[in-house]
Amino acid sequence: MNIGIGGDKAQNVLWRLDHGGVDGLKPRAIVLMIGNNNMFFTPETGVAAAAQGVKACLANLREKFPEALIVVAKILPCHAPKVRFYEDILLTNAEIDKLNLGADPKVKVLDLTQDFLNADGTIKKPLFTADNIHLSPEGYATYAARLKPLLDASLNR
């Protein structure tokens, strides 16, 4: 089930989590992919606040679903080096690392940064749509290839 909505920020996900968005569900695994849209506000809020939003979503999910595996996907790169949005994603992901989210044995942190960047730091264009933000079918296939082993191992497939 996908409860993501285009344009969501961490605070939107938190609201839905607390207002019926996951009521009645009993997931064995959850993939949390949030934070990109928070980059629009980092000039005002800072990157640490964006990382804390990811942590808050994780904490909320952990409380609601204590037995589920939760895969926290770090924010995918987009745009290009020296673009504030791109740079803030890298800084936010570094802040996420400092939070040590993977200390919980039922949390796996998935960092796909290197899968989506060339050696020079530019994004791998075939993995993105023309906007350099959203994933192409090849990008989703790359994402799925890295996600599948985490889910398979934890779900004993």
Model pLDDT for residues 77-95, shown as the tens digit of each residue: 999 999 999 999 999 999 9
C-beta separation of 69 from 155 below 8 A: yes
Question: Is the pLDDT at 157 greater than 80, yes or no?
Answer: no
* Domain harbouring 14, CATH code: 3.40.50.1110
Is 3 inside a domain boundary?
Answer: no
- CA atoms of 38 and 11, how far apart (whole Å): 9
Domain for residue 4, yes or no? no
Residue 1 lies in a domain: no
Domain assignment present for 63:
yes
- Backbone angles phi and psi of 46, in degrees to 5: 90, 160
The structural domain count of the chain equals 1
Asked if residue 5 is part of any domain, the answer here is no
Query: Residue 60 in 3-state DSSP?
Result: helix
pLDDT tier for residue 155 given thresholds of 50, 70 and 90: confident
- Segment holding 87, helix H or strand E: helix 84-98
Is there a domain that residue 126 lies in? yes
List the domain range (segments joined by +) for residue 106.
10-19+26-154
Residues contacting residue 83 through CB under 8 Å, at least 6 positions apart: none
Tell me what pLDDT residue 4 has.
78
